[in-house]
Structure 1
């Protein structure tokens, strides 16, 4: 096979495997299933000598140890991100992709309790976006999952983890307003996070309203990551179980469709 054709094919395999890994990890929440996909994506990126695809794959591989909840896996996640940044430096990386790497690292640090560091990374990502030159140094076409609105979502979630309910709510409200209508899965995530902000502000009725909206989005398009956030927020509402809004929420949360979808994921 000619070298040029081999490179094109390897890049296609890498991109498709990266997408498969994203679906397996975020949509199905099957990290063991996603690992071979990400490994193949990295191998194919190497065959294509595509440093940016390699960086993106390594950054995605950092999510598994970060989402595990095991503090002993923190260095594994950070090592993957160090590798991702090394690959990115060797490629013609855009400011937007650097912002995404900052956001991924912020997510990792948030999950390991380092919210101060995470907020510093978010601030740096915002600076990177201000420098982004979409014409002079564009991002790869496959980086279509990231945007300033998605960055705001990362920021809102980190502010929640830091206990900054009002700041999180303001950030997430703006992100939700700017989110394209077709991004149903991400809308469900933002609504669940807004519910979490309402809990921090001691407003259980508003939290229930946001969770009901999130469940409505999940009824249109299932997304295991969003459902996990909905359930996490529901657990924080236990002291208000006697409210009629809570009983209505549980009727929606524990119906046939939601339960079967949860068990099938």
Structure 2
């Protein structure tokens, strides 16, 4: 009998259409396996020994696609990939299972990153990170566990729950020590702490942490970063620093730091470019240069037109709010025409 007729909700989708009804529009893109439930245990090794490597090939492709594909298009594909990985875990044993679990943990981490940074769905991201940590534990990969925990710290950090963010970061550092972690990896955890401190209203503490991260990068380490560690670099640390200097009221320093970061940013890092441009626009507003702020905001909107990034759009909305004293000027009105154009407005409402 179909599982629905037995009174159960299928775990692979939210609901099935009733007999005679059309299937609902769209696809369920939620990640399967509710947080807290154990991962599927192997019942039989029916998959070949190459299954882990084959599954990882797709995970690596998604890792690269993240930087250029629209998040609303990529997320359903990544979610389906995690579904497949969870099913395959029940059919895989030994080394292949460990490799599969590692790739699954990375895929779940990517899904959580899209949910939090690109789609602004923090609750969904928090649950996805729990599942990712389960997979990293199955793979016994402490560095992946550290990366997942540090990403999870963003969620309470952005909600100004500093103690909760600090606890997750302590756990991330504990896992990183088991790695061992590279200098870049440890500096990134510092950068996460700095952003959480900044969001919680403690920019001076954040600047001290960033200085520590800079020292780590200068000293270096004999350990190399894992291949999946693609979201951090010295340029991105400078972007963190510029945002913190902005929030600390050090506008001249923030302008210098962010300008240098923008010039050094690789051409293919469009999402980070949006954030830096938004911060530069905020610096110009603080310095009473509204026209220059609008120039940076317009450039950020150009980048958002290429690939959507909810975190970047938040920066631009904050800038526009701070530009209200100059609302009647031509350059602010031109920004409004872009910010509230048909396509931009519809995209924002859909998301």
What is the TM-score when the length of structure 2 is the normalising length?
Answer: 0.73
Once the two structures are superposed, what CA deviation does each residue of 1:189-235 show, in whole Å capped at 9, x if it has no partner?
A: 11000001101111001001100110111111111110011000111
Q: Could you say which residue in structure 2 is the equivalent of 1:156?
A: 242
Could you say which residue in structure 1 is the equivalent of 2:226?
A: 140
1:183, 1:95 → 2: CA distance?
22
Distance (whole Å) between structure 2 residues aligned to residue 64 and residue 159 of structure 1: 22
Gaps of 5+ in 2: 1-91
2:212 matches 1:124: yes
Distance in 1 separating the partners of 2:320 and 2:197 = 24
Correspondence for 1:45 among 106, 126, 136: 136
Which structure would you say has the larger RCO, counting Cα contacts within 8 Å and 6 or more residues apart?
1
Q: How many pairs are equivalent?
A: 260
CA RMSD of aligned residues (A): 1.0
Deviation at 1:35, TM superposition (A): 1.9
Residue 36 of structure 1 deviates from its aligned partner by: 2.3
Partner Cα separation in structure 2 for residue 192 and residue 151 of structure 1: 16
Instruction: Give the helix-richer structure, 1 or 2.
Output: 1
1:132-180: CA deviation from partner (whole Å, max 9, x where unpaired): 24xx311111111100111111001101110111111110111101111
Task: Output aligned runs, 1:32-181, within 5 Å.
Answer: 32-68=123-159, 71=160, 73-133=161-221, 136-181=222-267
- 1:62 counterpart SS class: helix
Q: 1:193 aligns with which of 275, 279, 284?
A: 279
Pairwise CA distance, 1:98: 0.4
TM-score (norm 1): 0.96
Aligned to 2:337: 251
**1:131 CA drift (Å):** 2.2
Give the deviation of 1:105 after TM superposition.
0.3
Alpha-carbon distance in 2 for matches of 1:43, 1:89: 19
Q: CA deviation at 1:33?
A: 1.6
The structural deviation recorded for 1:2 is 3.9
C-alpha distance in 1 between matches for 2:231 and 2:181: 16
